Amino acid sequence: MGATKVVENLSGRTVLVTGASSGLGLAVAKQLAGSGARTLLGCRDKDRAREAMERIRLAHPAARVEFVYVDLASLESIEEAAAELADRAGELDVLVNNAGVMAPPPGHTPDGFEIQIGVNHLGHFALTGHLLPLLLAAEQPRVVTVTSALHKLAVRNELTDFKILPHGSNWLGYGRSKAANLMFAFELDRRAHGRLYSLAAHPGLARSELVARTEGGGRKVVGPALRRGTHIVAQSADQGARPILFAATAKAALKAGAARPHVRGEVPDMTGTRYFGPRGPGGLRGAPSVAGASALARDQELARELWDASVEATGERYAALG
């Protein structure tokens, strides 16, 4: 898969990348804009978004790049952003659910959810649901949700108690949010029944604003140590963006995945299994390849429980899926 072209020509397509003002999100948005897509940057900081657009236009003078204000911590902001997008775009070909926080100081969103599950999962769950009519209006729409290899930290207990940190641990909280991202991606793909493709990707170990801002949980030494270690051994944001871009644009991504058991001679059903990351040792760096999900993330009954809890928490029922 390493020799496969990662970014296809996207002329005439419209894409939205959340958290696109820096790091992985900016790297993804830059490549998408450079490939001809009308690229919308979903950000909560207007000044940083403006700087990001200037950087993209510097690299690609003909790029069509725009700013959309959205705060993934606020369900009200998400609803307003979706309404604005409905006025500005008749359809949405690709949604990249990238924005996130990692091991910040403990806290809650304005809606009362633990900050990591609130932003990383519930914010994107609500945004995707609100944007579903725009996605379904496009030809072969894709939703790519960015997760992490650290989703394997998640534990079954407290998965859907969105108001608390699992076992009081910021790192378990981050792992839970990333497991929720992966389970959401898989479950959305199953529920869409081919009307859209929902894929997941992780960047491996990459230098990004997400890591740069992490506090490292309750121990003050962890954050600085993680930031220094990541800077030394991690790949660049551009390299970390490759699995995300592959999932968002490559035709091969729709044919690759951890196939379910099937009858010999039949075409494997990859529904709810398309998940990509770096192919190198430990999945930390390298060209895009199929990634392995934890047993918890592959639990379909648990995914349905998470979905139902997310509907109750956000009020977003995905009515467009029927």
Catalytic residue numbers, as ranges: 174
Q: Identity (one letter) of the amino acid at 113? A: F
Name the strand (E) or helix (H) holding 99. none
Q: Is 236 helix (H, G, I), strand (E, B) or coil?
A: coil
Give the Cα separation of 114 and 99 in Å (integer): 16
Burial of 262 (0-12, 13-18, 19+ CB in 10 A): exposed
Q: Which two tokens stand for residue 182?
A: 């992966």
Q: Which two tokens stand for residue 183?
A: 């389970």
For 209-218, b/e burial (b = at least 16 CB within 10 A) is bbbeebbbbe
Give the Cα separation of 311 and 308 in Å (integer): 5
CB 230 within 8 A of CB 173: no
CB 124 within 8 A of CB 146: no
Under DSSP, the state recorded for 261 is: P
